[in-house]
Structure formats: structure tokens, C-alpha cells
Homo-oligomer: A and B are copies of this chain.
Amino acid sequence: MKKVHLLHIGVGNVGRQTVKQITVQRTALKAATGLDLVFCGLFTNTAGVFKKAGLSKLDIAGFPNGSKADLKKAVTEIPLPFIVIDTTAADMTLPLLKLALKRGGSVVMSNKKPLSGSQDDFDALLKHGENRVLFETTVGAGLPVIGTLADLLKTGDDIESITGCFSGTLGYIFSQLQTGTPFSNAVKIAKSHGFTEPDPRDDLSGIDVTRKAVILARLIGQKIELSDVKLQSLYPAAMARLSVDEFMKALTELDQDIAEKVVAAKTHQKVLRYAATITPKQCSVGLENFHIDSEIGSLRGPDNIIVIRTRRYHDNPLVIKGPGAGVPVTAAGVFADIIKAAEAIPS
């Protein structure tokens, strides 16, 4: 039996579901793997609870009511062996993750920011080894993307290209475009279904996809900053200054241009997609045409897809496809990483 302490930062939608999945599965996991996962700390932006000896069921069920433990103190004091889990979308966790690693702990992140900030920060995290720094859910949520890529690299394969659609929101919008819906309408429908961020520009800027592309590019050996990515935003810079309401109205100005692109693609048996392409020397994110029968061209709706071509997977690529967002699958991906990190801790 190996006891591993958990400190969870960012107990929001995904975080709360992760805690729930682990709590439900705890006994079965103990029996199957000998791992005893013990929550010692839970934190949100504004609340926190921490007990070195482990939280009780009541502590967990009652969180965050009235709790206000100190996060940095918790990272400093949580007993080894431990894992710090970061399911925030914040920059500010980076020093805490570094501290955790320095103390000999492991970290599991769904948070893309610490890994897609500066190359130096990425290197500072990864130097502790891939068994102590896990982040499968940063690309494609629970889909087995990062782990698969790591296996290819470790066994000496050469990555030729990674192409993919990593935004369920944009996937949904581009499926709508394909059926003739104007761009502005497609965005409105997506927004009304809650598929976009509150400000849809957070999706349409491509910055979220770019962060994922940077993580993949770094994994295959590029030294790259966010600003190095050839990024094509779906709206002109001038629209950045508008309020959300103004922006939603102004979107119709973009309809004709995008409709023309959709039609032009169609005349060549192709479809327009918002895709990321990473090679050992390049990284680009933006509009691209794919043949209607290709892997990416045949993608429908909000699914993510990743198409990996390597020296060994050259003629026929390795393809992984499925929901790349959503609370239960992302939480399960974080949970799977926690198990892997815990198993890798020497007993």
C-alpha cells in the first residue's frame, strides 16, 4: 500500500468532478493498484482547506464553505510523497508548481498556462522528468495525445507532422459553416448553447489552440514562444476593442469573406477548418482547407482530432479523435494522470 497526498488547486467544474471521481473510486483503486490517494488540500481562487493528516469526508463535502487556508503554506507543508494538481486556468500557479517539484513532489496539470508561457518555464518544469510532471489533459482533454506522443519519442520515432483540430467550439462553428450557416450566426448559436467562452473572442482569437500547439511543439523538441507561432485570428485586430455586444453585432462584417472561403474550398472537394500544424521546425494555427474525405475533413461537430505522422507512421498516420472538452472526460484525464504520477513515485 502506497499513500500519496494530494493538494488540488482550482476546485471549479473540472476540479470538483476530479475530486468526486477519486472519492468514488478510492477503494477500488486501492484494491487494484495498492495506491491510497489522500486529499490534504483543496483550493479555489478565494477559498482553501488544508490538513496535513488528510481531509475528512466532511471537509471535502463542505468545501469551500468558510475555509481560508493559505495555499503557499500548504504547498510548503504537505507531506511527501505528494502530488499538486492544477486545474486552474491561471498564470499564478507556476511558482507553486516549481516549489512542489523542488520539494520532491509531482504535479498534474490541466492548466495550459504554465506550459505555454516562456520556454524557460517549460524547461524548468520538465527538467524534473515526465513521470513527475503530467499534463495529458492540456491537449484534447481525456484523449490519449500526450502519452502517445511521449511513447513515440521515447522509442526513437521521428515526428514528421502533427495536424489537428483542438477546439471543440471552433469545430462546432466550422461544421455549421459547412452546412451554409453564416459565420456570425454560427458564433451566435454556439454562444447561445454555452459552447463558447463568455467573450467568444477568447475562442475566435485562436490563442487557446495556440497554447496547445506550443505544448506539442515543445514536446517534439522545438524551442518556441507563443509569439513565434504563425497565428491567424478569426477576427481583425480592430474588433478587439469592442464590447462583447458590439463584437457580436460587428461579426456580420466577416460573413462574406468566410462564406467565400467555404465555397472556394467546396469547389475543390475540400472543407474549411481551423487547424494547428506542427512540424519539427514550424508551428502554425489558422484556416486551412482539407479534402472532404480526409481525417480532418470528415470531422463533424465538436470533436477534437489529432493526426500524427512519423517515420514509422508515415503512409498511414496515427489518428485519435473524440470529445476534447467536457467536465467528466477532462476530470477522468486528470485522474488518470494522478494515478500515473502516484505509481511512478518510488515506494
Closest to A336 in B: B151
Do B335 and A155 have beta carbons less than 8 Å apart? Answer: yes
> Which one of B129, B318, B332, B347 contacts A312 once the chains associate, using CB atoms below 8 Å?
B332
Interface residues of A in 286-321 (CB under 8 A from B): 293, 295, 298, 301-303, 312-313, 315-321
Interface residues of A in 19-37 (CB under 8 A from B): 21, 24-25, 28-29, 32-33
Q: Contacts A339-B154, A344-B343 known; A316 to B298 CB distance under 8 Å? A: no
Assess whether A323 is interfacial by the CB under 8 Å rule.
yes
Interface residues of A in 142-168 (CB under 8 A from B): 142-144, 147-148, 151-152, 154-157
Do A319 and B316 have beta carbons less than 8 Å apart? Answer: no
Q: What is the bound-complex CA distance between A301 and B49, given in angstroms? A: 55
Q: Contacts A154-B33, A155-B21 known; A323 to B329 CB distance under 8 Å? A: no
Q: What is the bound-complex CA distance between A316 and B320, given in angstroms? A: 13
Q: What is the bound-complex CA distance between A148 and B151, given in angstroms? A: 13
Instruction: Name the distance in Å between A8's Cβ and chain B's nearest Cβ.
Output: 15
Q: What is the bound-complex CA distance between A316 and B322, given in angstroms? A: 6
Name which of A33, A151, A335 has the most chain B CB atoms within 10 A of its CB: A151
Q: Contacts A332-B157, A343-B344 known; A302 to B318 CB distance under 8 Å? A: no
Copies of this polypeptide in the complex:
2
Instruction: Name the distance in Å between A306's Cβ and chain B's nearest Cβ.
Output: 10
Interface size class of A (residues with CB under 8 A): 35 or more
Instruction: Name the distance in Å between A211's Cβ and chain B's nearest Cβ.
Output: 23
Q: What is the bound-complex CA distance between A313 and B328, given in angstroms? A: 9
Chain B residues with Cβ under 8 A from A32's Cβ? 154
Q: Contacts A29-B154, A144-B151, A154-B32 known; A323 to B313 CB distance under 8 Å? A: yes
Do B316 and A323 have beta carbons less than 8 Å apart? Answer: yes
Assess whether A194 is interfacial by the CB under 8 Å rule.
no
Chain B residues with Cβ under 8 A from A157's Cβ? 332
Closest to A25 in B: B156
Q: Contacts A32-B154, A144-B147 known; A316 to B332 CB distance under 8 Å? A: no
Q: What is the bound-complex CA distance between A2 and B142, given in angstroms? A: 31
Instruction: Name the distance in Å between A312's Cβ and chain B's nearest Cβ.
Output: 4
Assess whether A346 is interfacial by the CB under 8 Å rule.
yes
> Which one of B25, B152, B312, B344 contacts A155 once the chains associate, using CB atoms below 8 Å?
B25
Assess whether A131 is interfacial by the CB under 8 Å rule.
yes
Chain B residues with Cβ under 8 A from A154's Cβ? 25, 29, 32-33, 336, 339
Interface positions of A (Cβ within 8 A of B):
21, 24-25, 28-29, 32-33, 129, 131, 142-144, 147-148, 151-152, 154-157, 293, 295, 298, 301-303, 312-313, 315-323, 328-329, 332, 335-336, 339, 343-344, 346-347
- In the complex, besides A298-B298, A319-B319, A343-B344, 13 extra interface pairs with C-beta distance below 8 angstroms are A21-B155, A33-B129, A142-B318, A144-B151, A144-B320, A156-B335, A157-B332, A302-B316, A313-B329, A316-B323, A320-B321, A321-B321, A346-B346
Q: Could you list 15 examples of A-B contacts with CB < 8 Å?
A: A142-B312, A142-B318, A143-B318, A144-B148, A144-B151, A144-B320, A147-B147, A155-B332, A156-B335, A157-B332, A295-B321, A313-B323, A317-B322, A318-B323, A321-B321
